[in-house]
Amino acid sequence: MTARTGVRWYRAYRAYGKAPAAVEEIARLVGRHRAQLADVVVSLRVERQAPRGEFLLFLTLETEQWGVVPDEIEDLLTGCRALTQPLPEAFSLPDIQGMVSGEVQVRALGQCLAYRAVRREAFEDPFEVDARVLAVDAELPAGAAERLLWFLSAAGSGSWGALRAACAALGVPDATLANRLTRHLRLLGHLEVHRGGRWTVTPPALLEVGGAWVRSGARDAATPGHRAAHPAAPDRLTVPAPGKGDVTLRAPGETLARALPDARTYAATLEELGSVNAALLDLRRFDGRAFTEARADRDGLYEWRVDGRAQYVLRLGSTWRRAEFTTLRALAGHLGGWLDPWRYDPDTQALAVRFEGRLPEVYERALVLCSAQLPEHRGGWLVYAGVPLSVAARLASLFDVALDTRGPA
């Protein structure tokens, strides 16, 4: 299979019946025509909270032109009963993130793996031990994150272009995957990325998390530790106790959580746009589920288009703020009061947050650093391990979100 090239976009299909049956049907199609479809059809998402018997399927496609499917691929797709009613509009990921399930990778579909029901209720208990964990990081080459950290440690700092080139050399040429990999390094405390794209590797340190000592930051050949591999992050290196000269950070997640401001105060620190004449713009506001036409008469997340490309901004008082979409969506959820409640299991100290309510990176880092482990993707949930109740309650209060501490259903 050749590396994917082109632009990534989403096509919606109107489907009927039961979602799991439609997914299995698409799986059979991918299995039959894997050679032709593998470089174009990337993944599948399913509408949540759809009317009974009717729902939308979203195929992630990579083609030469935005919104244009090659004829030979179109012929194959229309051979699947679940893909006979496409909507004419092409979507971006931010367009659909508030209304879809977790991602199902084509790699899994092509192997026709058994698929558990694709519906919100299937994962209402994020702590279900046999809940299917969706392999959203399946496309990251094994060991790529560890090798990237070694390369960055040797360089110390550099430009965003150099980091992207390093990702491509390690088998991660796709910009979306490279961004995800870089975010993982930042969440785990290995890397800092500054405005303008400059990055620096953090100095080596030992983090005390859950009774273990875990290494973070720069690495070299002399870095000791017991290794535990992770498919989407550098190896987790643990040592029994700090050595002479080791820099130690105790309870880094709790320390960071205590230092973070409330959501509105944080929103006011985002990059401010210059003069914006909202009356001349075709605006749409996010309501927690989708973007709809609206006037700029209240705070929230807005979309406008420039040269056919969507731009997303946060209206805060009389100002307009810019940041990555995940950050804007979470802050808009706080401002609009539509963030879903979090679930907390006091027995295991696991915190579950809806994917569409994912926190801005600095807040999510506090959760990740409680265990020095990335969250698990369980359907529409992100489940963070080893989070003390004090940290979960603190972050919930900063975003005015309800915290359900009753544990598993």
Query: What pLDDT digit, counting tens, does each position of 269-281 carry?
Result: 999 988 888 777 8
Task: Detail the DSSP E strand segments found in 125-188.
Answer: 157-158
The mean per-residue pLDDT over the stretch 259-272 comes to: 96
Phi, psi of 253 (to 5 degrees): -65, -45
And the tokens for 284? 């749409």
Q: Does position 90 have pLDDT exceeding 90, yes or no?
A: no
Q: Which residues contact 156 (CB under 8 A, 6 or more apart)?
A: 200, 201, 218
Question: What pLDDT, on a 0 to 100 scale, did the predictor assign at position 297?
Answer: 85
Mean pLDDT, to the nearest integer, of 43-69? 79
Task: Indicate the range of 191-195, 214-218, 273-277, 312-316 predicted with least confidence.
Answer: 273-277
More confident residue, 5 or 322: 322
Q: What is the mean pLDDT of the chain?
A: 83
User: Please, which residues bridge with residue 236 across strands?
Assistant: 228
Assign 259 to helix, strand or coil.
helix
> CB burial class (10 A; 0-12, 13-18, 19+) of residue 393?
middle
**pLDDT computed for residue 66 by the predictor:** 87
Residue 284 has what pLDDT? 87
DSSP string across 52-113? TTEEEEEEEEEESSTT---HHHHHHHTTSGGGS-EEEEEE-HHHHGGGB---EEHHHHHTT-
Q: Are 149 and 185 in contact (CB under 8 A)?
A: yes
pLDDT at residue 358, rounded to an integer: 92
- Better-scored residue on pLDDT, 359 or 91: 359
What percent of the chain has a predicted confidence (pLDDT) above 70? 86
The conformation of residue 392, written as its DSSP 8-state character, comes to H
pLDDT average, residue stretch 175-185: 87
Report the pLDDT averaged over residues 172-178: 82
CB 300 within 8 A of CB 335: yes
Pairing of strands 212-216, 104-105: unpaired
Distance separating alpha carbons of residues 352 and 345, to the nearest angstrom: 9
Letter for the amino acid at 252? P
Q: Is the pLDDT of residue 28 over 70?
A: yes
In this prediction, residue 159 carries a pLDDT of 93
The whole-number average pLDDT for the span 377-383 is 80
The residue whose two tokens read 């973007």 is: 291
Res 239: pLDDT = 93
pLDDT given for residue 309 in this prediction: 75
Burial class, 88, CB count within 10 angstroms (exposed 0-12 / middle 13-18 / buried 19+): exposed
Q: Provide the percentage of residues in the chain whose pLDDT is more than 90.
A: 42
Position 34 scores a pLDDT of: 75
DSSP secondary structure code for residue 203 in this structure = P
Res 43: pLDDT: 78
With contact defined as beta carbons under 8 Å apart, do 136 and 177 qualify? no
- Please give the pLDDT value at position 111: 38
Tens-digit pLDDT profile for residues 104-153: 544 444 433 333 333 333 345 666 544 444 334 545 788 899 999 999 99
Give pLDDT, residue 143. Answer: 87
Beta strands in 225-299 (DSSP E): 226-230, 233-239, 248-250, 271-272, 284-286, 291-293
Question: Strand 205-209 and strand 248-250: pairing?
Answer: parallel
Residue type, 31: G
Lowest mean pLDDT among 22-31, 154-163, 349-358: 22-31
Termini Cα distance of the chain: 43
**For the segment 33-48, what is each residue's pLDDT rounded down to a tens digit?**
877 887 788 878 887 6
- SS3 at position 147: helix
What mean pLDDT comes out for the span 51-66? 81
Q: Is 150 helix (H, G, I), strand (E, B) or coil?
A: helix
Which residues face 342 on adjacent strands? 403
